[in-house]
Structure 1
Amino acid sequence: MAGAYTAAREGLSVTIVEATDRFGGTFAYSGGGGMWYPCNPVLVRAGVEDTIDDALRYYREVVGDRTPAELQDTYVRGGAALIEYLERDEHFAFKILPWPDYYSSAVGARNDGMRHIVSKAVPDERLGRFRGLVRGPLDHERLGAPQPDLLTGGRALVGRFLWAMADQPAVTAHLDTALVDLVVQGGRVVGAVVEHDGVRRVIRTRRGVLLATGGFECNDAMRAEYGVPGAARDTMGAPANHGWAHRAAIAAGAAVDLMDQAWWAPGLIHPDGRAAFALCFTGGIFVDRHGRRFANESAAYDRLGREILRAMADGSVATPFWMIYDSRAGEQPPVLATNVSFSPTEEYLARRLWVQADTLAELADQIGVPAATLEATVNRFNEFAARGDDDDFGRGREAFDRAFTGGASPLVPIDTPPYRAAAFGVSDLGTKGGLRTDADARVLDTDGVPIAGLYAAGNTMAAVSGETYPGGGNPIGASLLFSHRAALHMAGI
């Protein structure tokens, strides 16, 4: 959307090709829809004091040399200019949503969350010819909830891009149309083969093709090929994210990187059997198959997801693993953001995804862990909670750990029976491995040379953040910026 909008605004004709019946992809599932853009105009107007040098110092410390310094520099420096560009158009409006950086102790981290903004909501009725065509939210698609008329979160910015393009005759759009192949002539990409209702056609291009089709998280065969842990069943990715663009670009000579990586998260298992991205834990502990804690449960979700995967790799954690909590707040697990709303409690109980017992020993028997070990684990955790410090995993020592408890300690005692356990697995927000690009989002071949006429962004592009997730709004922020830069490059700007 950002690339199509920019290209149209700069005078190019644009064709948007979308494989599903709705626009927006995984971005449309984001409840916040945040963008990590240090020193952008929205923050500056609010009087936030920050520097690009501090933000870049933080980003480089977290990401390291896993990705090119030029890409990191372009991302950190480029977000502010993109917001300035968009705000010159009355279709766009943003606000601050404080969200702490995910590596709070790293040099340059912003622990007050003042590098993170979101789009303001917009009514669906403003979208003209695109009205009713924004994907999501998840409760609508997975639980059958009514689709709201007010576009919020990620849906809001998708909607604003569509609103801005609705009256532009230079923009055409095709839904239910899948990419099949790229057309290459003389080493240059000059078009794409697409398919709609079983009929294939060729769309010729003069300036370029931008591939921003998400990752390949919904393709179990491709996940297995590249060694991506987890399963398509448990991803939060949009349903057509099968890696077709990756395949087409690789066939055209593109180089790839980070293909075994994803944006990870613990996933609460719902009655449909799927583990869905969960965050904002205000209590509870995770235990392994031996009944022991194995991670900081309040860590940023990608960091926590990677700890879970490490434990799975060494055999100490299996799926499902269990969150242990008590009844001080009721039957539901202490999870503020489930992304897919809780179903009725009886559905979890009927499928034994949630279990309860009057004693920890009885609970241990129900989830298949040693009773003595679970009792010792909970007793030790309760001692940490009493003194407000976690000697084992440092829970509560970083700013993000306390972001959802009003600054209070996330070490909440487990001492109010009946005791409870909820089943968890691993979820992801999509794969992050993809096509190697330069700072203008031009796809590089295996010799590091740009493939003329081919660009990539979003989860189709190898993530600028490498094997880390520096802060909320980083995937979306990078997707928008490099799509924008691709279009500017096509327009010769």
Structure 2
Amino acid sequence: MTENKEQHNTDVLVVGAGDSGMMAAAAAREAGVQVTVIEKEGTIGLLRLSNAAVNSNAQKRAGVTINKAELVEYLASFAQHNVDQKLLNLWADHSAETVNWLEDNILKPNGAYMRSEPDAMVAGDIYKAFPTENDPTIDGKSYISYGDWFVQWAKDHKIDMRYHTELIKLIKDGDTVTGAIVKNNESGEEYQISATNGVILCTGGYSANKDLLKKWNPEALKKNVYNDSPRNNGGGIIAALEVGALRDQEPAECIFDRGLVPAGTKTEDMYYQTETYDNWLWIGSYPFLKVNLRGNRFANESVPYQFITNAASKEPGYLYAMIWDADYADRLEQFHMLGCAKFGFPGYMKDKQSFIDDVDQYVKKGLVVKADTIEELAEKLHLPVENLKKTVERQNQNYIDHVDRDFGKEYFRMSPIKSKPYYGCILGGRILGTLDGLRVNEKMEVLDEDYEPINHLYTAGNDSGAFFWGSYPDRVPGLCSSHAQTFGRLAGKNAAKN
């Protein structure tokens, strides 16, 4: 490492080029100030494809209406009110503006638009959802990625994008953050960036940092066998804590129940980091029979993605098995999944054959096993044979009787196991990101331990806190990316005003 006396001056410095960072940079630049974005990798982060909103233009076109007060109270109650409800209201009030900006400025100039997904439904107290999802598309039949278009917009608007550049520490003069020391990871040179209006931290949480997970959220290391956000090392949060910031004291994370592992895997031996979603089983989120490593059913499978991993964390070994039969593909549509797990667009699997192909690739890899008897299936999955046989018999009788006597799953989401071959796999959690972050006010200013704002320091996305607690509410589809983009936009606007 060498030190360089170079100094760069800007108005707003954005740290991290993902959902929140790109939106923050765009909003600040539109307000007329100079913007520099640093990103430690060589590309921007993945810009998420589904974005939640309340009363977006796409929703108006589709005739979708959402009761804002009901939605906000649902989110607060989901978190047992361990959140700042003012921030929930702030998101609901500004989410449509953000989605509309994305559609008008990034999508439409490239022939794309936002499609609203109206079919979230309430099918009882267990399955309550809101039609918040907006998806970028050109043909109304498939997603379109817009990251390259956003990069071009930044270039056209003269935003200074500095890749392979990492935050080392923030610079604070008295009670005001005035810039940062950064490092070019290709040359090893460190230099200073002075930011007249402020610094916005958008580095995406700490799910890639095992030391921070052990310290702040050790249970996540047991629940999860994959991390799908390997960029997110907690650098922004650590830098803010060093200048006196206040952090959420209880963890929150977004976990998907799609992590395929070989039978016999131990969670303490595996935390695989991937940006390419390796060994991701799409039907893992579907409400097929799920049993613990002793072959016993342990929870209602008709719950948000993360809940089944929460339930499994109270069982021996944390992992669990999913069991299904040869008729599974004919049952998928009836389950009425939401968000990215949905059958057909706007899910990622466009039709029944797509799901079949996805399962078959993991059969070939040996991560999904097939058998002509339950006994053989149990042996391949390292499960107690008699326990699994009894569990399957119970499952089939519940289906015949149209009632789940054990955990109360809705009948339309139940399925028997009767047609050969039988399928099975071992699953664990995939953490998409940590959601506990720095405490902020309604201007996205980072707060200190006295709950006072640190001048000229802002944050958004998964670096910002007090919005989530515990598990992610996936029945508000697109909420995580919308939280990042909406608060990024607000942070950029507010920083530009200084």
TM-score of the superposed pair, with normalisation by structure 2: 0.78
1:308 equivalent in structure 2? 312
Q: Which of 59, 63, 86 is the equivalent residue of 1:47?
A: 63
Are 1:96 and 2:116 counterparts?
yes
Deviations 1:112-149 (A, max 9, x none): x5321123359xxxxxxxxxxxxxxxxxxxxxxxxxxx
Other structure's SS at 2:236 match: helix
Shift of the alpha carbon at 1:319?
5.1
Aligned letter for 2:240? A
Preserved CA contact (<8 Å) 1:72 1:465: no
Deviation at 1:424, TM superposition (A): 1.0
The answer to whether the 8 Å contact 1:39/1:51 transfers is no
- Aligned counterparts of 1:152 and 1:411: Cα–Cα separation in 2: 30
Instruction: Say whether 1:484 aligns with 2:498.
Output: no
**Root mean square deviation of aligned Cα:** 3.2
Where in structure 2 are the equivalents of 1:366-405 lying within 5 Å? 366-396=380-410
* Distance apart, 1:41 and its partner CA: 2.3
Equivalent in the alignment of 2:78 = 62
2:120 and 2:218 mapped to 1: Cα distance?
28
Encode CA deviations 1:346-389: one digit per residue, 9 max, x unaligned.
6432xxx3333332233323333332221111111112222333
Separation in 1, partners of 2:207, 2:307 = 19
Q: Within the alignment, does 1:114 sit opposite 2:128 as a pair?
A: no
CA distance in 2, matches of 1:106, 1:372: 31
User: What is the identity, as a one-letter code, of the residue corresponding to 1:37?
Assistant: A
Report if the CA contact (8 A) 1:91-1:164 is conserved: no
Q: Give the superposition deviation at 1:78.
A: 1.9
**Alignment correspondent of 2:171:** 183
Question: What's the offset of the Cα at 1:10?
Answer: 0.9
CA shift at 1:230, angstroms?
A: 4.0
Identify the residue that residue 215 of structure 1 maps to in structure 2.
205
Corresponding residue number in structure 2 for 1:401: none
Aligned equivalents of 1:106, 1:297: Cα separation in 2: 11
With normalisation by structure 1, the TM-score equals 0.79
Contact 1:35 1:117 in 2 (8 A): yes
What SS class does the counterpart of residue 265 from structure 1 fall into?
strand
1:327 aligned counterpart, secondary structure = coil
Report Cα offsets for 1:60-108 as digits up to 9, x if no partner.
332332011211111122212333455554755322134637996389x
Distance 1:327 1:346 in 2: 13
Q: What is the match of residue 373 of structure 2?
A: 359
Residue 154 of structure 2 corresponds to residue 165 of structure 1: yes
Secondary structure of the residue that 1:394 maps to in structure 2?
coil
Task: Give the deviation of 1:441 after TM superposition.
Answer: 1.1
Kindly tell me: are residues 459 and 101 of structure 1, through their superposed partners in 2, closer, same or farther at Cα, counting changes over 3 Å? farther
Which runs of structure 2 are paired with 1:290-369 in the superposition (5 Å)? Answer: 290-309=294-313, 311=314, 316-318=315-317, 320-329=319-328, 344-345=361-362, 347-349=364-366, 353-369=367-383
Q: Deviations over 1:416-456 (max 9, x none)?
A: 23333212112111111111111111111111111111111
1:286: Cα distance to partner? 1.2
1:36 to partner: Cα distance: 1.7
User: Which residue of the partner structure matches residue 15 of structure 2?
Assistant: none
Please say if 1:252 is aligned against 2:243. Answer: yes
State the shift of 1:210 in Å.
0.8
Matched letter for residue 322 of structure 2? M
Q: Please give the alpha-carbon distance, in whole angstroms, between the structure 2 residues aligned to 1:329 and 1:115.
A: 28
Asked whether the 8 Å contact 2:114–2:136 carries over to 1, the reply is yes
User: Which one-letter code corresponds to 1:165 in the other structure?
Assistant: A
**In the alignment, which residue of structure 1 is the partner of 2:38?**
17
State the distance in 2 between where 1:278 and 1:346 align.
11
* Alignment partner, residue 444 of structure 1: 447
Deviations 1:299-355 (A, max 9, x none): 22122232223x2xxxx232542112223358xx99877999667346432xxx333
Change (3 A) 1:325 1:50: closer
Distance across 2 between alignment mates of 1:388 and 1:300: 22
What does 1:82-93 align with in structure 2 at a 5 Å threshold? 82-86=98-102, 89=105, 91-92=107-108, 93=113
Cα pair distance change 1:105/1:173, threshold 3 Å = same
In the alignment, is the contact (CA less than 8 A) between 2:57 and 2:96 conserved in 1? yes
Q: Deviations over 1:9-50 (max 9, x none)?
A: 1101111111111112xx44x5xx212212222212322233
Q: How far did residue 227 of structure 1 move? A: 2.6
- Within the alignment, does 1:456 sit opposite 2:459 as a pair? yes
Aligned 8 A contact 1:217 1:430 in 2: yes
Query: 1:212 & 1:428 partners in 2: Cα distance?
Result: 18
Aligned 8 A contact 2:28 2:35 in 1: yes
Deviations 1:152-179 (A, max 9, x none): 45x42x344323222112x110111111
Q: Report the count of equivalent residues.
A: 433
Contact 2:106–2:150, Cα closer than 8 Å, also in 1: no
CA distance in 1, matches of 2:220, 2:80: 26
Q: Which amino acid in 2 is paired with 1:487? A: G
The answer as to 2:389 corresponding to 1:419 is no
**Aligned partner letter, 1:218:** A
Whole-angstrom distance in 2 between the partners of 1:163 and 1:101: 38
- Percent of residue pairs identical: 24
Match of residue 35 from structure 1: 51
Residue correspondence of structure 1 range 233-312 to structure 2 within 5 A: 234-237=226-229, 239-257=230-248, 260-269=251-260, 274=272, 278-280=281-283, 281-282=285-286, 284-309=288-313, 311=314
Asked whether the 8 Å contact 1:308–1:426 carries over to 2, the reply is no
* Cα pair 2:244 2:448 within 8 Å, conserved: yes
CA spacing shift, 1:10–1:234, aligned 2, 3 Å: same
| Structure-2 separation of matches of 1:433 and 1:282 | 27
Instruction: Please give the per-residue CA displacement for 1:251-294, whole angstroms capped at 9, x wherever unaligned.
Output: 11111115532111223326798575555545631111221111
The Cα shift of 1:490 comes to: 1.4
**What is the CA distance between 1:206 and its match in structure 2?**
0.7
Q: Distance in 2 between matches of 1:102 and 1:41?
A: 23
